[in-house]
Amino acid sequence: MTRRPTPPLIDISACCPRGLESPLDHEAAQQLASVLKAVADPARLQLLGLIRAAGEACTCDLTGPVGLSQPTVSHHLKVLTAAGLVHREQRGQWAWFRADEERLRDLGHVFR
Amino acid sequence: MTRRPTPPLIDISACCPRGLESPLDHEAAQQLASVLKAVADPARLQLLGLIRAAGEACTCDLTGPVGLSQPTVSHHLKVLTAAGLVHREQRGQWAWFRADEERLRDLGHVFR
DNA sequence: ACGGTGTATTGACTGCTGTCAATATACCGC
DNA sequence: GCGGTATATTGACAGCAGTCAATACACCGT
């Protein structure tokens, strides 16, 4: 496989420094929307809540509470990770996730 | 047409009082996601920015900046209104919109 | 009443998204 | 190495969401 050009992680406070207080250009809106889309899903909100409440959580502890199949949960965690909202750490055969508090704060700040 | 049972407007601080700090049950996650979905679109983010920056705005002033057809803009404004993020007021033949600041604040507070 | 203008609705189409079963991959203990 | 366990990927499918052209509706001035 050819190397992907590195996932361009969006910097919220750079792309939308004044949040929704002033108009966004096309690109800024698209970037901000891409992060919001990651969060605008019931399963992913539940996952974020579970991860945050626990400090960190392993996939095996997340599949049960959300009531979805393992591949689906894996998919949602990938989306959250790609958006930079959670970070993944491999420990042996387990994948551990923790929330990026700063990024969540930045996201909340957009609506200020 | 039979009367619709009134759109059930979701109360964010009631449904998710602790935001993402603690796990959300299925219903709360679904409700919160429905509001976030309204905001997770580039065109609607631009519209929110324009409306907020202007204080209030009429549809005719919004179609140009976002670069979409009039029916599409009308559709997006309807979605924002249904989510309670903006309020619509008819003035003669013009439709004026203003943002619901409290609701935006509540939404931002979820990520605190 | 009528023509014009601003907005909403309808219908149709396309692309994306969430989901799962099946399969593959990675890691561990023995 | 081997079987078992945890996670990721693939493939397929249904449903939804964004878009526009065409049309309908509402309001206004004349």
Å between A24 CA and nearest CA of chain B: 5
pLDDT digits (tens, 9 = 90+) for B29-38: 999 999 999 9
Helix A70-82 × helix A59-66 angle, to 10°: 110
Q: List, run by run, the mean pLDDT of 10-residue segments along chain A (112 residues).
A: 58 93 95 98 98 96 96 98 97 96 96 90
| Partner residues linked to B98 by β-bridges | B87
Strand arrangement, sheet containing A94-99: A57-58, A94-99, A86-91
| Partner residues linked to A97 by β-bridges | A57, A88
Integer angstrom CA distances of residue B48 from A93, B3, B65, B100: 45, 29, 12, 10
Backbone angles phi, psi at B80, to 5 degrees: -65, -40
Question: CB < 7 Å to strand D — which of 52-81 in chain B?
Answer: 68-72, 75-76, 79
ipTM: 0.91
Domains of chain A: 26-109 (1.10.10.10)
Contact A110 B108 (CB under 8 A): yes
pLDDT digits (tens, 9 = 90+) for A32-62: 999 999 999 999 999 999 999 999 999 999 9
Of B105, B104, B111, the closest CA to residue B45 belongs to B104
Contact A49 B107 (CB under 8 A): no
Contact B39 A40 (CB under 8 A): yes
Q: Is the CB of A39 under 7 A from strand C?
A: no
For chain A, say whether B102 makes contact (Cβ under 8 Å).
Answer: no
Closest-CA residue of A relative to B23 is A49
The percent of residues in chain B predicted with pLDDT above 70, rounded, is 94
Do residues A46 and A66 lie in contact, with contact meaning Cβ atoms separated by under 8 Å? yes
pLDDT digits (tens, 9 = 90+) for B53-78: 999 999 999 999 999 999 999 999 99
